[in-house]
Structures are given as structure tokens and as C-alpha cells.
Amino acid sequence: MDLDIFFRELKENLPDKAIDISESLGLLKETINDTMEAIAAKVNESIIARDLEKMKQYLGLVEQGHDYEVKIEEIIKMLDVEELAIKEEINENIGNKILPNYDEYTVDNKVEHTLYENFTHIRPFGFRIDGTELIEVKTWQEVFLKTCELLLYKDEKKFVQFENKPNMNGKKNKYFSVSVKGMRKPEMISNKIYVETNMSSNSIRNIIVKMLREYDIKVNDFKLYFRADYTNINKENL
């Protein structure tokens, strides 16, 4: 079965899995992008040191990395999940089912986590950037909005420019805009710009990674803390 047929049928029959794959590939693409920048720095070092063998090795990695980026982008385009309904968080999905004791699923909110993890069925407790004071939250939308507020305060001009950057927006919908047109659930940030909040936890993760890169902030300097992990509840309800 060709990949395009496989992904088309996946979107039709298992849209939630298509979304998971697309979001995971988006994070992989951003991670490769970060790696490419690190390799580029090594290329420059080898040129300065006149180490031609090392330079050739690093250039080979650049070429391979670029090929992977192109392939990943092709698959993301095949999936084209932007118009699929975004999954609601688990406490909004259970409907009228008997509610479990959520206290049994709480986790240590002092354990640090990074943006390289899967946040499906995870409830956030808070986050901090580069060792700053902990900012407590209850939802992933709050994580996104409060991160946006911090970055806009840090450099308003840079943040407002997200509206016109293709890599910071969807192919069909805006994630950042001064107008609500074409946005599903916009929220105003500091009376300056609207941001899209109708996104899953992993989509929010991916856009935060992109924002940090625009601000030259290391992704690993963004630390997250969890409130609860409802993964097992979801497995029981399958």
C-alpha cells in the first residue's frame, strides 16, 4: 500500500492516530532543525580550524539531515490533519461515564519534564522558563497563553511578527493574527494579537518549541511539571 493511500485511510478511519503521527513528526522535524543548527556550528568550527576531514563529515550530516526534513514534511502534507477535529482533553471526553477517582492518577508535581515528551492525557501543573519562577496552570491552553504573554513581554515586535511567518501558522488557519477571521477559538494576548487555543496538548507543545527557537531560547530550558496522568483511564475506556 502506498503511503498516501495508507495515510488517507488512516485519516478516515483513525483520525486521532493520524493527528498523533502528524504532531509527533512535527516535533521530530523541529528537533532535526535544532540539530542542523548545531551541525552548522561545527562546520564553522572545522573551517576555522582548517580541519577539512571534519568539515566533510559535518557537511555529509547536513545533507542527510536535509533529506530527512524534506521527507518528514512530505508525510506531514500527506496527513494534512489540520481540518480534523482536535481531540478534547480526557475530562471532556468521558461524557456521562462513571467518573473514576482522579486522585489515584496524580503524579509528583516537582518532577521536571521537557517539551520532548508526549502530553496526551497529561494534566499540567506548571512550567518555568530558564529557571524563572514557577507559573502554575490547570490546562495546556493556559500553558500556551501564559507562555505567549511572557514572550510578548520579552520582545513584542518579534512576537507580533509571528502572524506573517508561514512556519508559525497552519497551512489553512492562522495561529497568530490581529484578526479573528479564520480562527476557531482565538484569545487576545495583552491587547496586541490573537492566538489560536483550539489545539491539542501536543500541538501546543510543538508551537511552543517553534516560539522558543524564534527567541533563541533553548528548548531544554523550558521545564514542565505535571498534575496528573490519565493514560490508564483512556486505556480502560478503549
**Average pLDDT of span 143-166:** 96
Q: How confident is the model at residue 78 (pLDDT cuts 50, 70, 90)?
A: confident
Do 73 and 64 touch, CB atoms closer than 8 A? no
- pTM: predicted TM-score of the whole model, two decimal places: 0.81
Q: Is the pLDDT of residue 131 over 90?
A: no
